[in-house]
Amino acid sequence: MAITSDGTQSFGIESSPLTINSVTYVAEGLNFNFTGSRVDINDSNGEPLGSTVIPGRRECTGTLQLAANTTASKVRQHEFVISATNSDLDGTYLITECSEAQTQGDYVKVSFTAYQKVN
């Protein structure tokens, strides 16, 4: 007998499951990046005096899965909320890119890229 998920188990992923556009997904392989830019400060002769880092966006990539008998919605341009114990990850994320839904065994999966909204 095959073991299948109905989307209610989080498989140890604290921020899973995620609800996007009224569809519940199990999130897997979430990867967060904290971007930034280095700015160099030079004197009038062009000699370096120092540098600083300006924080950028928090970005997220991962895979969403749901049972194959459920119709996957198009997730691009939709939002999801993460409430984790690590407050750096908490917030609302906007999905900017997603793959075409792919069937794998008893599941449908979608890969995505998102960023944390600042307002």
Per-residue pLDDT tens over the stretch 66-88: 765 666 667 889 998 887 666 77
Enclosing domain of residue 86: 18-116
Quote the distance between the C-alpha of residue 59 and its chain's center.
7
Residue 13 in any domain: the answer is: no
Q: What is the pLDDT of residue 115?
A: 94
Strand partners, 74: none
Q: What is the mean pLDDT of residues 15-37?
A: 82
Do residues 64 and 112 lie in contact, with contact meaning Cβ atoms separated by under 8 Å? yes
Its pTM stands at 0.72
Residue 102 in any domain: the answer is: yes
Residue 4 in any domain: the answer is: no
Neighbours of 92 (CB within 10 A): 13
Q: What is the pLDDT of residue 119?
A: 72
The number of folded domains in the chain is: 1
Q: What is the pLDDT of residue 10?
A: 45
Strand partners, 64: 27, 110
Single-letter code of the amino acid located at 111 = S
- Which ranges constitute the DSSP H helices of 8-104? none
